[in-house]
Chains A and B, each alone.
Chain A
């Protein structure tokens, strides 16, 4: 046998990343990871994107992952590098985004000594990741990297962290390629139980008032899953609604689509969920934003729930037909079983159900009134509608990310997605500051696409430093700020639930966003009245550089419809356009977030 040429741990790490198909790393250097940065410097196949904060590295990797279906990769140093990344990791965990995060660590002999920039990273991130590792021996390094990628992307995807002591990165390490062997203990089930599929189809065929409720799991399962969902809904003629995370899997402009459901979902989607007799939940998890008051949630329906994560089933809502499996395989199996089953579908029942749904739809719950007169204040909903219409006119492939709050809900309501992977938003954790770095990650993956971060003026300041990343890599991301000078969703809850006492929700000293864009080598634009809006949007899109468009909108506008805390789907409040009913918030509801 010839002598094996030994490479350093850092070189082995990069080799393993290359073998995993990694093209981009989002990171920030520091003492403990210097050997990795030295190895990065000496190669050209993996590109490193320097962010300005470790939290942003994770969000950028999330945006990259969500828009490509690949695993996003993060590299940060020990101690503060790792702790800064925690918010991003939890965000990826909650939204099931595949991310591998490499953290530096002090050398093994110093672990536990409170060394400089030491933190118990695996301890801190144990509940923030799907799995994490501390590599203590060079022999384990390559295997651990391959395993981390497998775990991040398979089953219910999620973040996986590898903590890398500096001595492991410097010492020679052996390479091993990824093993074809299945993992010792981790074997997620992807193929659904055929008997449960048959049971589900029988139930769906007999349904008089069915509904399909799809979630982020369909997006995670890939384009084939979205295609199977669309085919199933069209073949069965059923209405389809989607969670925030699932938007785009089913085309929003299709007449069978009822819009988003949940706290700020449409009247027709929520009433259909409440009144249905058979519900098919595919890749969603009965989140509290979706169900409203649990004991009043869809009281008369038989529920079918398909999810790749067994712990999502029967967690919040007791279901009748649980199906464990990959959303794409489940939809394909349901479609095949639907055609194979010779029971007649209750088409008469379905027709009268559609008449009911159309009556709810006629309420037009997303309606708002924009005064068209020059000089009029811009309604935030109008700004999103125009953004949607103008981007559509350009015909460009458009990706939208958001921050968190009212602007996020308005974007979900008024921007219409017809393809999966075009919508990047922090759903589960609700992380302000997500959108700008996520947009940077999307633009890296799709250099020619139109990438827009729909933001609020409060959220954008949480990771504003990423403007420098945009400038450095010439990423022409557009930041579209709906500026109402309030933390709008906080203000809305204070108005509705806390007697209009606007405690700390007003930003007294906002920066001048036009000058701020300029300072970060971008272009700043501003629209203060409705007659400015279209021009600013068109100009923003036309500029091939980072742009901040500061859209000054109506400060007092609330996001409707809304299911108040502790209320049921059929107790939603509609906006001022609809002779508003008084908000019926119970004491119990006040305790909810």
Chain B
């Protein structure tokens, strides 16, 4: 009997061992691939390790729409222009640009010292090919910015001309900043670029180029030894390694622990204080290129009235929201243009004051009544939609609901899952949209996208159809003289504010944390899209000591 028991025990132990070995063996495949793929850690390498939140979803820079993809891809593929610390466009691959033919031709003059990592020079034909491919296959978000292009010419190696169907003042800035330039000699053999994964044998002309990608774990980039925008012609850091931390709390622990040197993603305002006691961690603060706002659906019978929109603007206490929700880490907005664009922000505009009694009086004057004496106007009941994964905005909606009740306006909290929210706002199935614009790189694009009735872009969440606004926007769009353009933008700013098509709330500040005992020299740019991980910034980074 005992022999039989021992036999069974042996079989059981063998089964467990076999299972464990099989599991380890299975992972062993991935294990070996991983080790074979990453070649970092060699002696003499200076590796900058950056935390990112998600895998690269698409290595094709003409097609990718992901913020975290762009951190890696922008370091490989140059852009004509970049955004500097003051949110102004600065030269990158292009030395400068001009408009000719009454604004109907945008001409970029390129530098002649950019080279692809396979040794070929970056030339105007690469820019032409990139733009034409985007137009042909309708790739990414740049396709909409090339709507006005009728043809592209590359008369010599350093000149690119975009011929436009009509003058559009911010064309050069928009295309220059957003469009990645890819090597024609590599991409043209790939066939249909909408199906080109570009997931190996990378050739770039940015400061770094991908060397290996281990999905779910890390992306290793090696230095481009010929990058003219780096001090001395090549980056001081020999490798950049992006490590994945989907949870921002884990990423913060990894920075403290020395596993990474920089967080690519901003530190949440509520958690920023945890780094204060750590002498080796430094924080850099930048503004956002977007802003939080309340947008009103003009198809709603109440919200179609200017008085109601103005009353709502007076029923939200933005100052206390900034101090309580954002711990003071934001700027209050007045008009619909972010103060970060100093040239276009109309400083004569004052925010609507927080005045529930004044809002109530305004609504009474507009004919609203409180027949049952419950403190709320009869029939004035509105829903506020938001993305519930945005903790700050969800809190804003709660506070807005409470303060609006003091003005006699009943609000319902309709915060839902992100995709449901986006789907509802796109379909106009909401009353008030509380959200945060991501990135606007220039005010004209913002105004066109959000207010033009014929805008093909589709983020006119107001569903506004105003001939006056259409005329003002179209007029400004065709003005290529910078001073006249700024004046016209400021005027639109004023009209939108008076009409209260939206209530701008705040421009959030982002804080980026890095290990200052190991690296310095970062050049931060506004927004969480850019932050500390732009190609230009990474090219400036130096090891400390």
A and B from one complex = no
Residues of A near any B CB (own CB < 8 A): none
